[in-house]
Structure 1
């Protein structure tokens, strides 16, 4: 049997002793270690035999450390604290190596997650954590965040993903049942209204007004989540406004169709923000996403690619 590099008793015996000494109880130590009190007693006895020293005074109501046991406990705890510090540092390094990107439910489900799946197939060694949040306000504790809004009002490093188009969509069955020949036809067409405050989503009244119609609109289904609005449209519940960059796959597969050729430019942009703590790996992912949005690696119906920014894919490597 090869010699061990350290002249130590079995680690299981040391850990059992440390727990029993800290609690001054074999029973409590056993609960912490998820073993039986007899198992703890056996490990401690084996350690005492190895050291040829008594570590505990056994009493009817519990145990008490001997001076030798107290000395060993202090030494063990010092060593374990050093190991714990090293493990914490390693875990912290691993956490910093992971890229965290934040997006809303709609952007995550309809655009970002398919993109990240493609990124992972090409760069599986790069860890990415996605934080999905629909709360308003600045993104926190992330390297990158995707927003829909006025990029000119942002501070810091922000880059446009795509400049979008907004169109009226419905299921094939809905389109056949409710033909639309003019924007004014939406006065009698069931509509899915998105009630999402402080998100900047264009509503039906604004969309129709941009196309020259300011009359009444039909009522219909109301929802505060865009993904649910799209699902309701797939279920023939009404017409829904679609942002081309988000609904590209639904259009490509025919799940939803355009109800009219009319469309408007999105008044706001989808953009990605690079936060100050972003690592070179996060910058690499940012450039990859920008390139994916601009080249259409995943079909994106109706998207107008944004001009490229100063970032250069060739200068950033995922291993940095």
Structure 2
């Protein structure tokens, strides 16, 4: 809280006033955070403070998190008392694939209310009508359908691509890479991807994040190359915000699929059938 308030106000004093604590308390908490993260979040000057690059990056991540929380709370409030079809998905799938399609769904099915349950924790599935997964559909039970089987490619911003002019997977060993740390999710990492293309050498570790949306944003901000799942990043590529860095791609080892939990719900079945029209 102290960091977010200080970063937003660009002032320890203003943050302290907002939080009803002393400026010294804010400064102490931020120093503790900097020690824990092993990096400076603010440049300190006699007349004030200024965010470092790391501090600005953390602020953006926090603000996006708060926006998603507010959106989820608003959605849950608006759905209270209504018979909504609930769909569980990860942040990445919700933001990059599901939400744009639900916007189309409501144009023709405005009488059906849909609520998203967004979670990046794979353990367990909360009470929901449908859920979208990245995994091995052959190990599933119940009514499931593949949505898409992806190709994984190396992506970067247009500026990053022009600056480095990469041609082969070996060239990627010399540029900063954005690593997604998401254990137990099945997401392919850079080393696995490179080995699939026959490269077994060293790779740079420039940035590590635990959220795919943040990883893509870091790539858009010219911070490095990122692995892109074609089905999730096609809109960003079509818009020219990210580009393929080398021609080679790797077939994803797992599928994106949807599972229907509430088979007795006519509305859930309508949403299920509608979503699966996009399947490969």
Q: Same fold (TM over 0.5)?
A: yes
- 8 Å contact from structure 1 (residues 274, 283) kept in 2: yes
Task: Say whether 1:225 aligns with 2:215.
Answer: no
Structure 1 counterpart of 2:145, from 159, 182, 186? 159
CA distance in 2, matches of 1:248, 1:147: 19
Structure 1 counterpart of 2:124, from 138, 156, 159? 138
Aligned residue number for residue 118 of structure 1:
104
Q: Structure 1's 277 and 232: CA in aligned 2 closer, same or farther, altered over 3 A?
A: same
For these two proteins, the number of residue pairs brought into alignment is: 201
CA distance in 1, matches of 2:165, 2:205: 17
CA distance in 1, matches of 2:96, 2:108: 20
Aligned residue number for residue 150 of structure 1:
136
Q: Unmatched 5+ residue regions in structure 1? A: 1-92, 295-304, 306-320
Aligned residue number for residue 7 of structure 2:
none
Q: Classify the secondary structure of the residue corresponding to 1:164.
A: strand
Task: Say whether 1:196 aligns with 2:177.
Answer: no
Task: Tell me how far 1:125 sits from its aligned partner.
Answer: 1.1
Q: Structure 1's 278 and 271: CA in aligned 2 closer, same or farther, altered over 3 A?
A: farther
Q: Unmatched 5+ residue regions in structure 2? A: 1-79
Q: Can you list the C-alpha shifts for 1:166-216, whole angstroms capped at 9, x where unaligned? A: 000000000011121111111101100000111111000000000010110
- 8 Å contact from structure 2 (residues 128, 262) kept in 1: no
Aligned residue number for residue 171 of structure 1:
157
Task: Say whether 1:253 aligns with 2:225.
Answer: no
Q: Structure 1's 278 and 201: CA in aligned 2 closer, same or farther, altered over 3 A?
A: farther
Task: Tell me how far 1:278 sits from its aligned partner.
Answer: 5.0
TM-score normalised according to structure 2 size? 0.70
Aligned residue number for residue 4 of structure 1:
none
Structure having the higher Rg? 1
Task: Tell me how far 1:220 sits from its aligned partner.
Answer: 0.6
CA distance in 1, matches of 2:81, 2:258: 24
Q: Summarize the alignment of residues 46-195 of structure 1 with structure 2, pairs less than 5 Å apart.
A: 95=82, 97-195=83-181
Aligned residue number for residue 71 of structure 2:
none
Q: Structure 1's 137 and 278: CA in aligned 2 closer, same or farther, altered over 3 A?
A: farther
Q: Classify the secondary structure of the residue corresponding to 1:217.
A: coil
Task: Tell me how far 1:276 sits from its aligned partner.
Answer: 3.8
Q: Summarize the alignment of residues 230-249 of structure 1 with structure 2, pairs less than 5 Å apart.
A: 230-249=216-235
Task: Tell me how far 1:138 sits from its aligned partner.
Answer: 2.6
CA distance in 1, matches of 2:144, 2:124: 13
Aligned residue number for residue 274 of structure 1:
260
Superposition RMSD in Å? 1.4
Q: Can you list the C-alpha shifts for 1:86-115, whole angstroms capped at 9, x where unaligned? A: xxxxxxx964x3100010000000000000
Aligned residue number for residue 285 of structure 1:
271
Task: Tell me how far 1:255 sits from its aligned partner.
Answer: 0.3
- 8 Å contact from structure 1 (residues 143, 278) kept in 2: no
- 8 Å contact from structure 2 (residues 262, 268) kept in 1: no
- 8 Å contact from structure 2 (residues 173, 202) kept in 1: yes
What stretches of structure 1 move > 6 A for 4+ residues in a row? none
Task: Say whether 1:265 aligns with 2:241.
Answer: no
- 8 Å contact from structure 2 (residues 130, 262) kept in 1: no
Q: Classify the secondary structure of the residue corresponding to 1:166.
A: strand
